[in-house]
Chain A
Amino acid sequence: MLPVLNTPGDSPEDSSRRAGLCLEDWSNEVAPRLDAALAMLPDCLLPGLLLRGWLDDKAVERIDTVTLNTVVGENLLLRNVATEIRGSAEGARSALGKYSSSPSNASRSQAFSKVMTLRIILQQSPKNVVLP
């Protein structure tokens, strides 16, 4: 999607077609995967996932609470990862919608910027359980 978003259309019709493709790609490919991943955050990154059954519930809760305050990116706490991604995804979805409804270089550029921001946040997010 990003290479398409990063290329101006040859004509208004071409821009409109590109915008439609990007929105379709978002709806069919990106959004369902993002929703599935976000539904598991941040629980799938907490050490409690591994520690239940070995430590009592109170200890697991304490460790998870400390872990949620771990800095995992620039000004980004683990507890805020899902919120940040959701916010960025909403920004990308909205920008793609605007690009699709009124295709122009400005709306295309805005959509590119929003999708790129989302990608950077996703790439910088932890991929494994975060240890305290």
Chain B
Amino acid sequence: MQLRIFSVYPADRLWSFWLDRQVDERQVANLDPETFQQSDWYDESGRFLVLVHFSNLLKDEHKERAAAIEKHWRDLDDGVRERVWWLVYSGTGYWDLVSTIPGVHYFRNPVSREWLSDDEKRHFRQFVSALEADEQIGATIWAKLYPTENVAAATLLALLTSSELTDIQPAINKLLAERRMESLARAHRQFAARVKQSPKTPPTLDFWVAALGEGNYSTVRDQLVEVLGAVPD
């Protein structure tokens, strides 16, 4: 699916670099609803992502302004509305504003002018890739911008990275026995990306991704056994 990305008012973030994609920068005065908030901005086919920085014109306490923005999205023509997403961000992040509609999102984390963490870049790129895919987009698309709150995976990851500091085997065994495998598979993927050294040859990231992509949990598990020792069934 063709996706066009705009960065508007003021276009002062490194979106093109961060997203690794073409981003068209547009200057838009104030909260002028005659611009990207009108259907005629989107007369081409395909999908549109608009990255909007309202600066101090839209802060957490500006509930009415947010409601007006959301109304403009709702007022887009049929056939346009479902192809358009407005991601509103700021230098401090939106703590309180929560959108009431699927096409507008107020990004919680701060976005600085010059810098975005690798982790955040990865999430933004995953989000954009999802918009480029042919699948229908649901309201949960925005969740791709944030890390998954997967406590089991994070716990396994923390255990694995503690292996040089303490005996993690009993805890690993207990965790593998108690937690669901997809959570653990995600942890393996994260772990693989972080492996720096191992007493044995560490599995490569490509290996983990390929194995997990096939849903071949037992292969991943066998590799884990090789790295860490015996793991119970």
Q: Which residues of A contact B (CB under 8 A)?
A: 2-4, 33, 47, 50-51, 54-55, 59, 62-63, 66, 119-120, 122-124, 127-129, 131-132
- A131, chain B: closest CB distance, angstroms: 4
A55 and B194 contact, Cβ closer than 8 Å, known pairs A131-B158, A132-B162:
no
Chain A binder among B39-47, B66-74, B147-155, B223-231: B147-155
Interface size grouping (class) on chain B: 20 to 34
- A88, chain B: closest CB distance, angstroms: 15
Contact between chains at A50 and B151 (CB < 8 Å): yes
Any A CB within 8 A of the CB of B207: no
Q: How many Å lie between the Cα of A128 and that of B148 in the bound state?
A: 11
**Most chain-A Cβ atoms within 10 A of its Cβ — which of B115, B159, B162, B168?**
B162
Q: Chain A: interface secondary structure?
A: helix
Contact between chains at A3 and B55 (CB < 8 Å): yes
Which residue on A lies nearest to B178, using beta carbons? A54
Please give, as numbers and ranges, the residues of chain A lying within 8 Å of B155 by CB-CB distance.
50-51, 54
Please give, as numbers and ranges, the residues of chain A lying within 8 Å of B55 by CB-CB distance.
3
Any A CB within 8 A of the CB of B215: no
Q: Which residues of B contact A (CB under 8 A)?
A: 55-56, 91-92, 95, 109-110, 112, 115, 117, 119, 147, 151, 154-155, 157-159, 161-162, 165-168, 171, 174-175, 194
Contact between chains at A123 and B158 (CB < 8 Å): no
Q: How many Å lie between the Cα of A63 and that of B163 in the bound state?
A: 10
- B172, chain A: closest CB distance, angstroms: 9
Contact between chains at B162 and A47 (CB < 8 Å): yes
Contact between chains at B158 and A47 (CB < 8 Å): yes
Q: How many Å lie between the Cα of A50 and that of B147 in the bound state?
A: 16
A63 and B154 contact, Cβ closer than 8 Å, known pairs A3-B55, A33-B95, A127-B109:
no
Q: How many Å lie between the Cα of A124 and that of B120 in the bound state?
A: 12
- A115, chain B: closest CB distance, angstroms: 11
Please give, as numbers and ranges, the residues of chain A lying within 8 Å of B166 by CB-CB distance.
55, 59, 62-63
Q: How many Å lie between the Cα of A54 and that of B109 in the bound state?
A: 31
**Most chain-B Cβ atoms within 10 A of its Cβ — which of A51, A122, A128, A129?**
A51
Contact between chains at A2 and B161 (CB < 8 Å): no
Q: How many Å lie between the Cα of A62 and that of B165 in the bound state?
A: 8
- B215, chain A: closest CB distance, angstroms: 26
Contact between chains at B165 and A66 (CB < 8 Å): yes
Please give, as numbers and ranges, the residues of chain A lying within 8 Å of B112 by CB-CB distance.
119-120, 123
- B140, chain A: closest CB distance, angstroms: 21
A51 and B159 contact, Cβ closer than 8 Å, known pairs A3-B55, A3-B56, A123-B110:
yes
Q: List 24 A-B contacts (CB under 8 A).
A: A2-B91, A3-B55, A4-B56, A47-B161, A50-B154, A50-B158, A51-B162, A51-B171, A54-B175, A55-B162, A55-B166, A55-B171, A59-B162, A59-B165, A59-B167, A63-B162, A63-B165, A119-B92, A122-B110, A123-B110, A127-B109, A128-B119, A131-B161, A131-B194
